[in-house]
Every structure is written in C-alpha cells, then in structure tokens.
Amino acid sequence: MSRKYFNILLLFIIMITEVTCKSFTVVIDTTESMDDEINIIKANIGEVVRNLNNKSTVSDYILVPFNDPDVGTALITRTADDFICSLTTLTTSGGKDCPENSLAGIEHALRVSDPESTIYVFTDAYPKNYGNMPSVLDLCTNKYSQVHIILTGVCYMSARNSAGRLDLYYEVARACGGVVLQFESAHNLRQAFSYINELNRNAWNEVIVHDNIRGQKQINFLLNRYSKDAMVVVYGGTVQLQIQDEKGLIVTLDRIIDTRNVQMFRIEPKQGKYCMFIRTHEVVSVTLYIKSDLVFCFGFSPKYPKSLEETSTRPMAGRSNYILISVVDTKIRLVSLEMKCGNMTTVISFEYTTNERYYTSRAFVDPNRLCRITAIGEDENSQGFIGATKLLKPQEQVSNISALKPTVVIIDPEYTLFDFGTDVSLTCKIKGHPEPVVKWEDDDGHLHPSELILLELPSTYISYVTITNITRNMTISCKAENTEGSSETSLHVYINKTFTFDIVQTPSDITIEYGEEDTVFCEVSAYPEATTKWYHNNSEIVSSQNLQLIPDDNAMVIKNMTLDYTGDYKCVVENVANKKEFDFVISISGLESPQIEINTREIVLRPGDSAELNCRILKGNPAPLITWQHKSADEFASDELPEYSIIVGNKLRILSIKKEHEGIYRCTAVNLMGESSAEVTLKVQFAPVIKDDVIYPQTVPVKEGDNVELPCDVTASPEAVVRWEMSQDDVIIPLDQRHVTDDQNTHRFTALWRDSGHYHCIAENALGTAKKTILVNVLVAPYIETPQSKTLTVRSGSTVKLACNVLYGNPAPSLKWKFINKDSTSRILRNNRTSSLTLNNVNKLNEGSYMCIVDNALGSDRIKYQLKVE
C-alpha cells in the first residue's frame, strides 16, 4: 500500500494481544514560580491516580522533579496512595525566570518509565536549549511512550535571559504522540485534569495529529462501525471549530475544556463520514482521538498454525515465528503487514489461507529490541483499518518450575467428517512439567506417529498427528504422561459414505395426569450417527431426576407430572448431513382449585379452656398447603399466631385460652390452581377489667363549684354492670341527684365542700368483679360559725372561754387569736389549731377586743369578741 493511500484514507489503529504494564509519570517544575501550580496539582491529581489504580495496566507511579539546572531523583511508587503521599512532600525553590531545564526532566522520565508509558509535564517555562532533544526524540520513538506538556503562562526575553524555545515543546509532542496544553495562568490549570481524565478513560486506538494549521483548514475523518468513542483537542491558539456529518448537519459537541489556547470536545461516535472546519489567525495543532473495537487478532507459533488456538500471544525469542492474523469480519481483507522496531520499519510478506478469516506470515523477533507488528486492511468500500500488537515481549525462560500433571485438550478441527482415503491432521494442546510423552492412539489400539513442539515457556506444548489414508470411522485419543501423572481426551472422526436419515419414532401431543409418569420417544436411524437434543419452551433440556433424558432409548421421561412440565416441546435430531425438528405439546390433567370449610362460624370460651379449629379440605389437586392467620385488630398477622397456638396438620390448637386469643382466625388453602379461605370468630369471656387511665390521676383535687368527671373504662365479656359509690372514712355516703353516670360509665357532678371522699367504680359480671377508686379532694375556703354574742361583760377574777368553731375549710386552715388593747396596740395570743381561747382570772388588763383568724390557700375568715371586765 503506497504512502499516498495513507494520506487519503483515515486509519483505525486497533491495539490487541496481551496487556502491557505501563508507568504513570508526572514531571514537575519545582522552581519558586510554580508555587500556585503545584498546589493545584496536589489538589487535583488524587482523583486521576485513584481512577488509574483500578486498572491493571499501570505498573508504577513515578514523580520526576526538576529545577534549574538540576533534575531530581525519580520517586517511584507502586500504589496511588504512595504517589499522592510523595507528591505532598514536594516544595519549590529558586529559578523564577525563564527558560528552565525541562527537556532534561523529560529525558529522565522517559528513561525510568516502562515502555508505552504516559508522561505529563507541568511547567511555567519554555525549554532552555536543544541539547537534550535528540535523546528525547530517540527515547519516544524506541519506547513508544507519550509525552503531554502542560504549560502555564508565557515566557518573555529579559536583559539576562532568553525566553526559551516554545517550538521544542511542540516538536516533543509531535514525536511522542502528545499535545501541548498552554494555559494563560495557573487559575486555568485545573482544566488540564479534565484532559488527563479523558485521556485515561479509554485506551485510544487511533491518534490523528494535524500540525501547523493557520487560516482555514478542512479535516475529513471517518467513524466506522467499530468506533466506540471519539474526542478532539485543539491547542496553540484561538480557533473557530465546527464539525458536520455526511448530510451537512452540524454535530453537537460536548465541550470539556474551553480556554484561549486549548479547546477539547467529546464527539458522539455515530458511524459515518465527518468534516471538521477550522478557522484561526494563529498557528494551532489538532489531535483526534478514536477508540475502536478489535479488528485484527495475532498469534505466534514455531510451527505453521491453522487456528488461533494453536498459537501463543507472545513469540519465541531469537528465532523465526509463524504469525497467524485473524480478521473479525470476512469483509475486511489484509493489504499489508509491517514490523516496526524503533525508527526502522520492515514490510513482511504474508499468505492467504483456505480460511478467509486467516492470514499467515513469518518474522524473526529480536529479543534485544522493542518491536510491534501492524496489519493494514480495507473493506469492500476501501475503508482502511489498522491492527497492531502491543510491544512484542518474547517469551522468557522460567526457573524453579513447579511439577505439573499433564492436561490435554484436542483443538477442534473445522470438521470431523472426512472423505474416504484422505489424510487427517489433528492437533492437541498439552500443559505439563516435566515435558510429557504424548501418544495418539485410535480405538483399535494403533499408535500413530506425531510431532511435539514447545509452544509457550515453560510448559505448554502442541502435538501434531496425521492419520494417512483413513478408511473407517474411529475414535482417536491424545494421551500425555509425565512423572506427575497422565491425562487423555478423545475425538470421534467420521468417514464420508452414503448418508442415511430414516425416521423411526416421532413425538406427538400428549396429556399427562398430575403426579403421573409418561415417556416420549424421538428416534432416527442415521449415518453418520445423529445427536438428539430436547427443548422445552425454546430452552434446551438438561436431564434431571424428574425430567430424564435416556439417549439409549431415544426417550424423554417425565417421572412426576407437574404444571412446570407443560408447554411447547421440540426434539431436534441432527448429524453432519441432515437435521430434523419435531414439535409437540405436553398438557396436564387432574388439577383442581382448593375448597375448604370450617365446621363453625363462632366459638365462645372462657380463660383456661382449650380449643381446636379444624380446616377441612373438601377438594384440591395437588393437595393444597394450609396456613392459619389471626386478626386481633384491623389486619391479619402474616406469620405469627398468639402464644400457645400450634398447628397440627390442618388443625389449629390453642392449649390455654387467654384474652389475647380472641379474634378472627382465617384458614387459607393454596395450590397451583388458586386458593380458598374460611374464617371463624373466637370470643373469650372474662371478668371485668378496668383500664388504667394514665392521663386521669388516682387523686383528683378540685375547687368548689368545679365540674368533675371521673372516667371508668370497663371491658368485660359478657358485659358488666357498672355502678359508682362514694365513701368517707370507710363509710358509704349516699349520692344525691347532682351525681350522674353516663352510658360510658363516666361519673359527673358539680363539686361542693362535702363531696370530698373516695369514689369507687365497681364493675360486675358472672365471672367476677373489678373495682377502681379515685380520691376526690374538694378545696374550699374556711368558714367560722357565727357566735350567739360577740360582746361579753364579766366580773374581775372569773374565767372566760371564747369559741372559734370552723365549720369547714380544705385544706385545713391555720388559726390564730389576736388581742387588741383599748389603746389599739395588739399582740398574738396563740397561733395553733386549737379553736377556743380560755382566759383565767381576768382583770381590767384583759379588757379589749379578741379576734379569731383562720385561712388557707383558698381564702380566710374571722370573728371578733368585745370583752368588758367589771
């Protein structure tokens, strides 16, 4: 294929074969002018490397610091967390001016990183000189690593220093398959991590670079049926960009980065031809990334292979290897095959095989060079495809090999029916150590000469056998044996002669009674021998205990018919020459929905009684499953019955009735055809129970004139007779007409001072009595009985007794006597609860006013005596 062809055709590079372990490398300028940038890197790099940590392709994480003029020691870590930790220790010093020794840092990073690694360079300065460029370019070419340069700011020439050469960064990016992302300031640097995350999101198979674009440019590209993702990066200046599809419609782009010097878009990967229009007044570069599925597969073998199963993903070192190239689509044909080792590319000749999916070639693999093979193809529309191996890592000798018993697999040939008298070639893959002895033996005990070669180090072998002039059907076995044991596998080989395919028995529609056994036959007399497969509702049947396949009888047996075995069946009989399908339907009979009854609708019991509820099955096939549920409130409990309830067969037994057993019991019968239910109500008689009222206290203080309500919540079965009584000092006091009780057993009255006492709610039925007592305390101000005479005249020397009779007062009032002299002076004579005051041997000094004063929290009262002594 000419180079001109590549200028016209977009090529889709598909990387395949084994996964290569790579380095994730970050090169950082640690001069003082990078303070802000390094802080931003520390804050954002964590998400990037933790995402990479989940990918097995990353072997290590490398940090390469550089300053002016020195390059620091590379910090190599194995985990993302260790890398982040090493990054946090990074500090800046010196070197605030442009340019910097950045190319030396890039060169050091390329040397310490694995081949095919990705390197990100963070700096705010242009490179100092060209000195390291040849080495950088050579390392990129020979190690196939990518270098992406992330630059912040612009360098200017000063009196002491030159600005440096920005063009060298673009040359590095072009040679190393990367880009130059130049941001105006550190503020925009965070957007660089969007680019890094997008780049790491896929293993981009195709990277198309267009450099030195100025003015207007039209770039055509193609997304084919294997394209799964695409994005475009424009860098170097301000651009106007638009993409149109083959119908001329503008494609909507998902904008990821948009700054003055860098724009990045994600493209929806719809198949078709696209045109990218670019307009700019500056010199810019465009990189198109495309991720596509596998197109070519490669395999290597020391011997000419006929299929990929006979190859290894890694070649043998220092020798010529056969290469088998497989295309995923027969519409794609191989056009050219190349091997690239560094800057040297060699065209390799190839051959077509009898299988249109395979091509073969031979190449020498140098163990001392990093090489990859590229296959170039095109389809019927001249659309180009490229498939490339990863870097070829030849197989390596292994020491301290563990002993391994052989395992044997015959690689299936394209067909097992051969013409009479032809030669038959077969292949067998063996794993074992030490090297096994391999024999090919047919069913007559005859050994056939074979060849054994080492396919993969240290212990994978391929054995080839050719059976000459085959004239009969046979079973050929590949047998391997070493000191650890032996293994073998067999293949049936058939000779092409007159084919027969005679139908002996075919199945027909049948109906099988539930639970019964029946057999269906499907038999064909055929040569070559036919295989029989059975299908139920389009799924292949696997023989089981209840649905048995008996190949010797050409029969399918249903041992116990259930609804699961109804439906559409198919018997497929096939050999290499013919195939027949016989459809039939299996139906079921003898099924009926359940019907049950309970012999009573209601049961009335007393506590301590026992009960047995019988759920009788009237009909149902298959036998229905019986369950019981209990409803004590609004809903049936799904899985719990009250305590002391047990299920015996279809019966529910309650050993000792309690109040909580009351409610509705539902029996439910279920089988394949449906369900049926019946209910019985269980009532429990019990002595009255008066519910404790946590809201209404047992002692009720009220004021005279208050409306009093005393609740009494009674439950009982049968219904209880409820009455209220009142007692004072254990004496029952009759209630007057002020006291009423409603139909909810609530007692009501308007409080008077004489209503204090114990109120008893008494509930009675045939099973017992319940009683609730509430103490009502009527609070009232004190009142003193008015004496018959309040003025007393007595003789000197006599004794006088003054009465102070408190008729009522609650709480009990305090009492005191006060003496008021004729000169209006006063004093307290007594301060206690004694109601009367006695004056002995009175004289003129006792003459005056005597006052009795009583009070409590609700009020006070007083009386006044006037005493005269003659």
Q: Are 165 and 127 in contact (CB under 8 A)?
A: yes
Which pLDDT score is estimated for 159? 57
Percent above pLDDT 70 for the chain: 95
Residue 21 has pLDDT above 50, yes or no: yes
Rg (alpha carbons) of the chain, rounded to whole number = 53
Residue 17 banded pLDDT, cuts 50, 70, 90: very low
Most confident of 13-22, 46-55, 546-555: 546-555
Residue 3 lies in a domain: no
CA distance 29 to 862: 104
CATH number at residue 280: 2.60.120.380
DSSP lists the bridge partners of residue 361 as 323, 350
CA distance 37 to 223: 37
Residue range 27-45: mean pLDDT, rounded: 91
Residue 86 three-state SS: helix
Q: Write out pLDDT tens, residues 46-86.
A: 888 888 766 667 888 999 999 878 888 999 998 888 888 88
Do 43 and 144 share a domain, yes or no? Answer: yes
Residue 533 lies in a domain: yes
CA distances from 662 to 531, 640, 679 (A): 66, 14, 13
**Residue 64 contacts by C-beta under 8 Å, 6 or more apart in sequence?**
25, 26, 27, 28, 71, 72, 74, 75, 105, 108, 109, 112
Q: Are 30 and 401 in contact (CB under 8 A)?
A: no
Q: Write out pLDDT tens, residues 238-271.
A: 899 999 998 999 999 999 888 888 889 999 988 8
Q: Which contiguous run of DSSP H or E holds residue 385?
A: strand 384-389
Q: Write out pLDDT tens, residues 832-867.
A: 656 888 889 999 888 889 999 999 888 888 998 898
Q: What is the number of domains present in the chain?
A: 8
Q: Are strands 206-223 and 272-292 parallel, antiparallel or unpaired?
A: antiparallel
Do 731 and 658 share a domain, yes or no? Answer: no
Which pLDDT score is estimated for 631? 85
CATH number at residue 67: 3.40.50.410
Which of 525, 560, 589 marks a domain boundary? 589
Burial class, 751, CB count within 10 angstroms (exposed 0-12 / middle 13-18 / buried 19+): buried
Residue 641 has pLDDT above 50, yes or no: yes
Which pLDDT score is estimated for 833? 59
Residue 3 banded pLDDT, cuts 50, 70, 90: very low
What's the domain range around 195?
Answer: 21-201
Q: Write out pLDDT tens, residues 354-363.
A: 777 888 888 8
Residue 633 has pLDDT above 70, yes or no: no
Please, what is the average pLDDT of the chain? 86
Q: What is the largest CA-CA distance in the chain?
A: 170
Q: Write out pLDDT tens, residues 494-527.
A: 887 777 788 999 999 999 999 999 999 999 988 7
Residue 481 three-state SS: strand
Task: Give the pair of three-digit tokens for residue 415.
Answer: 């067909």
Do 31 and 175 share a domain, yes or no? Answer: yes
CA 366 to chain centre: 48
Residue 475 has pLDDT above 90, yes or no: yes
Range scoring the smallest mean pLDDT among 73-82, 130-139, 813-822, 832-841 = 832-841
CA distance 496 to 516: 44
CA distance 516 to 518: 7
Top-confidence residue, 663 or 328: 663
CATH number at residue 384: 2.60.40
Do 58 and 186 share a domain, yes or no? Answer: yes
Do 118 and 247 share a domain, yes or no? Answer: no
Which of 481, 496, 511 marks a domain boundary? 496
Residue 9 has pLDDT above 60, yes or no: no
